[in-house]
Structure 1
Amino acid sequence: MSAVAVLRLPLAVDLSGFVKLLQRMQVPHRVSEEAGEQVLWAPAEISEDVRSLYERFPAGDPDQQMDIPVAPTFKRPSFAEQLKYAKATGFILLLCLIVGGLTYLGENLQTLRWLTFLDFQVIGEYIHFTPLADSLAAGQWWRLVTPMLIHFGILHLAMNGMWYWELGRRIESRQGSINLIGLTLLFSLVSNYAQFVWSGATLFGGLSGVLYGLLGHCWIFQLLSPNPAYRLPRGVLAMMLIWLLVCMSGLISVIGFGEIANAAHVSGLLIGCFTGLLGGLYNRRKLAA
């Protein structure tokens, strides 16, 4: 359920009384400061009711004498309800699930080879890779982005899917489905190519490069133009950055979890920070206009 700006008021206006009234009525809300104003956010479905309530009781009900019916307890929307507002996020995750099934989570090499960054042939016990230029000359441009759909194991798919759902729907609710798809493809292209340049002809895949792109985008966008949609749970950013450093240290590979696509993670984070910078500056200027 997405939140919208219900009220935009000067900083000098005292909203404390009205906020206490909303708390007493159990109305979900949040107050932020943007472009020299205080902004009251509430779920889109009840925004008109909240606005009407403020027109009647701008100072709230300090003596608790008003006969106002208490709103029912706010219920977290179900997965199906959330999916209605996150169609693009769900579509990408569905593609990952389909590819996971078709490739047996990386075990079916004959199917896998159509989605990898480099085409390959299995000859005996060896994999022989086709140069990227040859694949692109044959029109196989999809290889630049499709590695994001490949996952090696159920844990790999589950973890990446969980984080894409968490980050992707935030961007989709704020910037729309088309922008999320565009950012996903851009982050996949940059992270895949960076990993190829760094590691050479190897098999790699997964959404993790895209995830770090989405993380960087939300992080920098939120710093420049605060918005509830991009306010990540406390500790998430620190945890993801610490995990990135742990992976880069080589410890994860040493203890037997396989090779980590560190170049994809770092490049994804950097390009995500850059798009967050552009988007945040644009949104900040638009609000100030």
Structure 2
Amino acid sequence: MSPVAALRLPIQTDLTGFIVLLRRLQVPHRVSEEAGEQVLWVPNEVAEQVRDLYLRFPQGDAALQVPASPQAAAGFVQQFRDSPLTAGMLGLTLLVAALTALGDNFAAIRWLSFVDFRIQGDYIYFSYLSEMLETRQWWRLITPMLIHFGLLHLTMNALWFWILGRRIEARQGSWMLLGLTLLFSLASNLAQYSFSGPALFGGLSGVLYGMLGHCWLFQLLAPNAEYRLPRGVLVMMLAWLLICMTGIFELLQFGAIANAAHVGGLLAGCLTGLLGGALARRRAGR
């Protein structure tokens, strides 16, 4: 694992919280000072994910910390009780992450991937969507959202699902969150397959962009406290989507990103946000 410079930041930038987060995630790293900048070095294999993590959580994230008191622990348990579907989805995601060894157990992954595949020597051979539909393997339309490749991939998606999922569950209920999650997964998976053809992809990112679009447009039409997101969060996630769509990370050989899944989820979320917000506004006007 050769180290690369994942971040170059002004010397006055406080990296303390982010370094604590990297340690908690057990990401090898070191910080050096070069030409008036501080440089964060990480293994090349995780450099892209570390950059993404910093864009989203530059100060670290309190959600990853162990509660410091019985009162804090009780509050955390209460959050799970108040958001049973969100907690259940995260529990299922963590279970699948363990069964698939975070993307290393291909024997388990092939049962959850959008289309089946087999590995022969150095090559991977995929089936097609038509074959999957003919054999009634309907679960594959949804289950790729449970597959994650690496601890950083899992952690970032889990954190955002916890943040956005609880908002939707509090505002529209557990059944609505379940329906939206399945819909956004279906839309993002179909979009990615339509764009890239048979391939191995996965993660909650498409669902998360769907949730973002849903909360965003719902809030515009029917303002409410649950869906009021900080403007910086919305701008950051949309900017990150546009940056990824430029293909810069593939060009730099940092790995492929399922951009079509993100766009498909976002469009589906904007549609549900428009419909839901319009209905909520109409009810409020009666």
Q: Which has the larger radius of gyration?
A: 1
Q: For 1:210 and 1:181, how far apart are their aligned partners in 2? A: 11
Partner SS state of residue 246, structure 1? helix
2:260 paired with 1:254: no
Q: CA deviation at 1:259?
A: 0.4
Equivalent of residue 280 in structure 2, options 283, 286, 289: 283
Q: For 1:234 and 1:83, how far apart are their aligned partners in 2? A: 26
Q: For 1:255 and 1:153, how far apart are their aligned partners in 2? A: 19
Partner SS state of residue 158, structure 2? helix
1:227 corresponding residue in structure 2: 224
2:55 corresponding residue in structure 1: none
1:27 corresponding residue in structure 2: none
Q: CA deviation at 1:139?
A: 1.9
Equivalent of residue 152 in structure 1, options 149, 152, 177: 149
Partner SS state of residue 101, structure 2? coil
TM-score using structure 1 length: 0.72
Q: For 2:251 and 2:95, how far apart are their aligned partners in 1? A: 31
Q: For 1:223 and 1:165, how far apart are their aligned partners in 2? A: 22
Q: CA deviation at 1:104?
A: 0.6
User: How does 1:114-263 map onto structure 2 within 5 Å?
Assistant: 114-263=111-260
Percent identity between the two aligned chains? 60
Structure 2 gap segments, 5+ residues each: 1-71
Partner SS state of residue 230, structure 1? coil
User: How does 1:8-27 map onto structure 2 within 5 Å?
Assistant: none
Q: CA deviation at 1:77?
A: 7.3
Number of residue equivalences: 216
The worse-fitting range, judged by mean Cα deviation, of 153-162 and 128-137 is 128-137
Q: For 1:154 and 1:255, how far apart are their aligned partners in 2? A: 22
Q: For 1:113 and 1:165, how far apart are their aligned partners in 2? A: 27
2:14 corresponding residue in structure 1: none
Equivalent of residue 271 in structure 1, options 260, 268, 271: 268
Partner SS state of residue 232, structure 1? coil
The worse-fitting range, judged by mean Cα deviation, of 129-138 and 188-197 is 129-138
| Bigger proportion of residues as helix | 2
* Deviation readout 1:159-184 (Å, 9 max, x if unpaired): 00000100010000000000000000
Partner SS state of residue 228, structure 1? coil
Q: For 1:76 and 1:221, how far apart are their aligned partners in 2? A: 32
Partner SS state of residue 78, structure 1? helix
